[in-house]
Chain A
């Protein structure tokens, strides 16, 4: 029997939890069909997380592609189908070739497996980032550099800690629904070890009385703890945290059953969510919004 998992019309880091809730009761070898026919929009997080989901399954899953041509076309431009073909049995029609010249997709979905991939990624996005961050987000030149450094560091987390490859995508879009401003977003997802197991592999690791996914995320993201005892380790996420703080951005990291977030004034997310459906690996998102000096105060108190 095949269980149908419905993809919400708008697929982002919040609504992906609905997918995971449907998946949670099922064993890894259960036959599933990811039903994305009614999807209208997906964030880079949503798309990379869908690829990651397939990697967690013992039985090759199926995916029904979005029925709306515009949506399928966008997913194709983001290179979703290109990678999904290797992971899912795809049902429905979708563009087999990607159109060139998609300005919103700064970095199409790209696999990360080795250090050289990061050199290529950074080299690819630098010029386009400059145009988007300075031109459209109206941030200083320094924001471009910080974004590139953050991108490099969060991709390295996969190579250093996941124990297997992962996915990255970078996109810029107007976030009308929640913010009313343009944003540039990094999504990095893997189905690897996750933060808790990575930290548990540290030499001499002694779990505290309360040791779970949430504690592991707090250790890594807030306190800069790494599985390596080298004092220089753990700077990558610390740097990313400082960067989002400086530009009123948002950083969120999900691993296992917990999610931690550095929450800017314009958002009303919780800093720490626990008891989420179990999902392997780590899923990280960085959002940098367009500069709007007075928007932060104005957006406080407004719901999503």
Chain B
């Protein structure tokens, strides 16, 4: 199932003033992430895997501290072995005004995320070349097996499988009945 969280709405629910549209300060970021996690918990009550769009479209700006709380800590929590749920994230509405802060925290923590743009979805952040190429192949091909990705890349199937499994751990690719589906791509993206 696909869920949608408008970060700007969460921000307004979190801080005292309705007029704030800037994601600034660490305490605000922590409060926004807390609310996002509560919503994810509610989505998770439906059971199973959940893909959630984290929508920055109506956020004016985000500073480093807030990006660390809202983006980095959210990703770290759900890529952890003890993640509270089987959650995947597609980031939407991230523009140049957000990118400096978000890219800085991705670099600092060695994280990556799936980002929706006008021309499709791409993965950004810290990835190995093998991961980046495997993700791209899975995204382009739709629901695939490791052999399909290996064939597309002209790579060793074991290497392709290793990269895809790594992407699964990083919540950038889902396992669906033994196949791989890139976050934001394949049949999940069209649902």
Contacts and interface: CB of A to CB of B under 8 A. Distances in A.
A119 B24 contact: yes
Max chain B Cβ within 10 angstroms of own Cβ: one of A118, A149, A156, A239: A149
B64 A239 contact: yes
B127 interface: no
A239 B109 CA distance: 15
Contacts of B15: 116, 119
Contacts of B188: none
B24 A118 contact: yes
B96 A142 contact: yes
Interface on chain B toward A: helix, strand, loop, or mixed SS? helix
Interface in B33-70: 60-61, 63-65, 68-69
Interface stretch (A182-190, A229-237, A269-277): A229-237
Contacts of B169: none
A230 B16 CA distance: 27
A232 B104 contact: no
Contacts of B25: 115, 118-119, 152, 156, 159
A235 B104 contact: yes
A148 interface: yes
Contacts of B4: none
Contacts, number: 78
Contacts of A231: 108-109
Interface in A98-157: 115-116, 118-119, 122-123, 126, 142, 145-146, 148-149, 152-153, 156
Contacts of B73: 232
B9 interface: no
Nearest to A116: B16
B105 interface: yes
B28 A119 contact: yes
Interface residue tally on B, bucketed by range:
20 to 34
A116 B97 contact: no
Given A118-B25, A119-B25, A236-B65, A145 B105 contact: no
A70 interface: no
30 contacts: A115-B27, A116-B16, A116-B17, A118-B24, A119-B15, A119-B17, A119-B20, A119-B24, A122-B61, A123-B19, A126-B22, A142-B100, A145-B97, A145-B100, A149-B61, A149-B100, A152-B63, A153-B65, A159-B25, A159-B27, A231-B108, A231-B109, A232-B72, A232-B73, A232-B105, A233-B68, A235-B64, A235-B65, A235-B105, A239-B63
